[in-house]
Amino acid sequence: MGKKSSFFKKIRISYNAPVTLTFALTAVLIMVLNALLKGTLIPAFFTVPGGAGSSAPFNIHVPLDYLRLVLHIFGHADWNHLVSNLSFILLLGPVIEERYGSPVLALMMLVTSLVTGVLNACFSPLPMLGSSDIAFMMILLTSFTSISKNEIPLSFILILILYVGRELFARPSDQNIATLAHIAGGLCGSMFAFLAMPKAASRKNGTAQKKQDDRNKSSDEGSSRTVKNKPALEEDDSTVVGSIEL
């Protein structure tokens, strides 16, 4: 019994992916607060207005509408919508965060949400909410890491078909989740797969540069020691014999 107790004392829960976990917890908290406020919180702060033809179009004179371009990823239509997106995000987010680092993942999510929000505000007549664009970005970003120059994994193709199919053939009640804007935002955000450098590669390049600098420094110090240790020439080579200087 004592051994079991000491075993459980050694186990601790780590906050291993701060950006991913903070995002998920924030989305859950907003859903809870929205339920307590009788469904008024998410429509007011976490939904992107539509464009022309919308009942409440994007207003360039309202500062809150600009915040909604990014904050919409924290709002969801219902718990099923939230759980569906968090299933992908909590599965893939820690892997991406470990590979690229927390600041880079946060930037990816910010850019993806902004691109998606702008596209919806410009071209969609419907309001939009949800983190489907973030989930789609993570799916593509994770899949791109296994794509080589001459082959594409079948698993990547199947995931792409399943996710895009789910978005395109969503139930009518889910149409406020703007499908095409989500897909376009995910594709734009996934361009980071070609632009961002993984942490391991960054460290490798930094180590190589440090070694090169150390070699250059050692070479300079060696040259300096050679010059310093060279015997100095006698300024006065004259020899005195008696009173005659030769």
Question: What length is written for the chain?
Answer: 246
Q: Across all residues in the chain, what is the average pLDDT?
A: 77
Is residue 101 a contact partner of residue 17, using CB atoms and an 8 Å limit?
Answer: no
Please tell me which of 41-55, 90-104, 123-137 the model is most confident about, judged by mean pLDDT. 90-104
d(CA 177, CA 75) in angstroms, rounded, equals 11
pLDDT-based confidence at residue 1 (cuts at 50, 70, 90): low
Give pLDDT tens digits for 213-229.
666 666 555 555 554 55
pLDDT of residue 51: 80
Helix (H/G/I), strand (E/B), else coil: 9: helix
Residue 238 has pLDDT above 80, yes or no: no
For the residues of 103-132, what is the DSSP string, one character each?
A: HHHHHHHHHHHHHHHHHHHHH-SS-B-SSH
Predicted TM-score (pTM) of the model is 0.73
Gyration radius from the chain CA atoms:
31
Give pLDDT tens digits for 159-205.
778 777 776 676 554 455 567 777 777 777 767 767 777 776 555 55
**27: closest CA among 76, 78, 81?**
76
Q: Which residues contact 101 (CB under 8 A, 6 or more apart)?
A: 199
Give pLDDT tens digits for 74-108.
999 999 989 989 998 999 999 999 999 999 999 99
